Homo-oligomer: A and B are copies of this chain.
Amino acid sequence: MKAPLPVSLAQEDCLEAVLRLQQAQGAARVRDLSAALGVHKSTVVAMLKRLAAQALITHARYGLVSLTPAGAVIANRTGARHELIREVLVKFLLLEPAAADANACRLEHALDTAAHQRLREAVSLAAARPRLAASWRRALRARLKAGGRGQGSA
């Protein structure tokens, strides 16, 4: 039970968005997905067709989008990774929540399972060793204040 199917990044994002919308407002509609993903409605419809063909969602014409069990597995896993990465970026790199989120959107697809696991260990370690974590943050904060213009440079 390793790789259920090779799902593309865009598809994974779409599944994640469906989950998010379901949680946030009970249901996912094409319009919301279009807004959430920042793509045209027709793009969403095309994507939903592909996802339905892989039995990851169901989609009644002119109706709502739902995740199948298989789709929910992927959506949950992707969502969890997103959260994990966001947390790492905020806690260890002191990125602003918004910036952390934007980066997490892309990073969640780029790490393999082992790397994700390590991030989990890292977060858990930071929780277990709050003073160590605080030392790091303090030192980084000092360094950013010293050398850095706010957040923008290259």
Residues of A within 8 A of B (CB): 89, 92-95, 99, 102-103, 106-107, 109-119, 121-122, 124-125, 128-129, 132, 135-136, 139-140, 143-144, 147-148, 151-154
B110 touches A95 (CB 8 A): no
The count of identical subunits is 2
Taking the closest CB of chain B, its distance from the CB of A107, in whole angstroms, is: 5
Contact of A140 among B102, B107, B125 (CB under 8 A): B125
Q: A107 vs B109: C-alpha distance in the bound complex, in angstroms? A: 9
A115 touches B132 (CB 8 A): no
Q: A36 vs B62: C-alpha distance in the bound complex, in angstroms? A: 46
B121 touches A148 (CB 8 A): yes
Name the B residues within 8 Å of A113 (CB-CB).
Answer: 152-154
Q: A33 vs B56: C-alpha distance in the bound complex, in angstroms? A: 35
Given A103-B115, A107-B111, A132-B136, 10 additional A-B pairs, CB 8 A: A89-B115, A93-B122, A95-B115, A114-B151, A116-B154, A117-B153, A121-B148, A129-B139, A132-B132, A132-B135
Q: A152 vs B27: C-alpha distance in the bound complex, in angstroms? A: 36
Name the B residues within 8 Å of A112 (CB-CB).
Answer: 99, 102-103
